[in-house]
A = this chain, B = another copy of it.
Amino acid sequence: MIKKLAIVGGTHGNEFTGIYLLKKWQATPELIERSSFSAETLFANPAAYQQNKRYVDNDLNRRFHRDELENPSLTSVEELLARQINHQLGPKGDARIDFIIDMHTTTSNMGPTLLLTAQGKFYNQLAAFVQMYMPEVVISCDEDHKTNDQQHFLSSIAAKSVMIEVGPVPQSVLRHDVFEQTERMASLILDFIELDNTDQLPELPQTIDAFRYIECISLPLDSEGQRTAMIHRDIQDQDFVAIEPGQPIFVTFAGEEICYQGASTVYGSFINEAAYYDNNIAMSLLEKVTLDCY
């Protein structure tokens, strides 16, 4: 039973959609109210937003590993902020908040994506429910083999959580369509929890299709760590589309193609995501999976 829920936006300061949705809901809180639980909002990183950056010192959404939260010698802006948020919504492991929805956007062409960070029928039913009303939603299972303690996402403070990830939208841009997709997904998640809390869930499909994270791959670099290639046009914007062994995935600045070396079909996500340039990540690779709802 979920009694207390938090909707978080602005975990990354230049992902405007969640920040403006929070403003809307603060003005009209009835939109996120349901009978069986309380919902509160949190603007996670206003300092980064003020600077129009993803983060001030380091990525807030990688700061919630239990060990980091319990290490007071870590004092970057985001490390301090993580501890404050953990105090506010948590503490992780025994959290005041039962469920967190963390709203993100991506520059990649991922459409509206629901990121599940844990396994189990509750999550699979939640995903099936959202997809029933928004068939365009993609379900992606990210680090769902880890326990909450092992995860470093903000949402891992609560025992249960999901992340909303919608794109493509450039950093620091608010798009009408992305705003509405995010709002609709959040609203459906709230509806699901209300129906689940009150034992009123409709009949759901037996199974749904989803993607599960395997690994991320890096851009080709030279010996000085400089990028020597970019994402090939054939896979640019092709998130969740099959990548076959031998298919070009990069192209050097001189025009030479570099092909995928894996042995089996995979699927990309976060392809050419702006925020992953810091560490030269080109994309995530995923496999197709089926999730059982019953």
Which residues of A come within 8 Å of B, CB atoms? Answer: 20, 23-24, 27-28, 52-53, 107, 168-177, 179-180, 226-227, 230-233, 236, 251, 253-254, 272, 274-275, 277-278
Contacts and interface: CB of A to CB of B under 8 A. Distances in A.
A227 to B, nearest CB: 8
Interface SS of chain A: helix, strand, loop or mixed? loop
B23 A253 contact: yes
Given A23-B253, A236-B177, A172 B230 contact: no
A111 to B, nearest CB: 15
Contact of A170 (B27, B168, B232): B168
B277 A172 contact: yes
Contacts of A169: 170
Contacts of A226: 23
Residue of A251, A274, A278 with most partner-chain B CB within 10 A: A274
A24 B175 contact: no
Contacts of A277: 52, 172-173
Nearest to A219: B174
Given A171-B171, A171-B274, A28 B176 contact: no
A19 to B, nearest CB: 11
A87 B24 CA distance: 50
A251 B175 CA distance: 11
